[in-house]
Amino acid sequence: MDKIRAAAAAGRTSFGCWLTLSDTVAAEIMGRAGYDWVILDTQHGGISWNALLPVMQAFDLGGTRALVRVGWNDPMQIMRALDLGALGVIVPMVSTAAQARVAAEATRYPPYGVRSFGPVRNYYAASGAAVLEPLCFVMIETAEAMAHLDEIAATPGVDGLFVGPVDLALALGLGPALVMPEPVLEAVLRVGETCRRHGIISGCAALGMSNAQALAQAGIQFLPISSDGGLLRRGAAADLALARGWPQGSVAAF
């Protein structure tokens, strides 16, 4: 069982990180940090399709499995990501059960879906047994999706609902909120409750560590708590701020 399913089955939250950079050395380093999983972002990140396979291989070296956020609800992109060895996919802007069905069926071979058999790697376990079905998370980030939560959650092959809070805030007329507004938090809690009723995994993109803590305490089970770009930026800024505060021009400190 993968760490995401194992944590959800035990009533725990699994923690991951967004990856937006295509450098394989950085990916290997991040893969050794101890995250339960990572999300390779091909929708808004800088990871191209040419870079996707080597970045995924770098994470394999670090012992961390990767999911891919595809650019759109496109069966070709979904199947390609899985063929390259993704643990699962995160599919943006899913607003109806029909759209959820398109995403889910692209992750499953017939008779349960329409995925074409052509995997490049990771399609059999070492024992020769088939590996677990890949995870299919669909993103809840529109007012229409909130109106169809139960139907989306009940779609066969959908393993989890993953809230995109900034796009949802935009859709609800709240603007591009970087701090989670109360209506969005209420929507996230509703998604969590819907997932519990349907026996699937709840997820949400956290807007900072305090927000991540609140989401974990609320029972959200699949939680990216940081990003490679954010960690790099904050680490660099913290070191620079410390250095700028040092006394200068005196040898007494030696």
Catalytic residues: 44
H-helix or E-strand spanning residue 251: none
What gap in Å lies between CA 222 and CA 203, rounded to an integer? 4
Structural contact between residues 211 and 166, judged by C-beta atoms closer than 8 angstroms:
no
Please enumerate in sequence order all residues whose Cβ is within 8 A of that of 202, keeping only pairs 6 or more positions apart, or say none: 160, 161, 191, 192, 194, 195, 196, 219, 220, 221, 222
Q: With the CA atoms of 25, 213, 173 and 40 taken in that order, what torsion angle do they form, in degrees rounded to the nearest 10?
A: 20
Strands (E), 86-190: 88-91, 135-140, 160-163
Contact 200, 158 (CB under 8 A): yes
Strand partners, 140: 163
- The dihedral built from the CA positions of residue 171, 177, 180 and 181, taken in this order, carries a sign that is negative
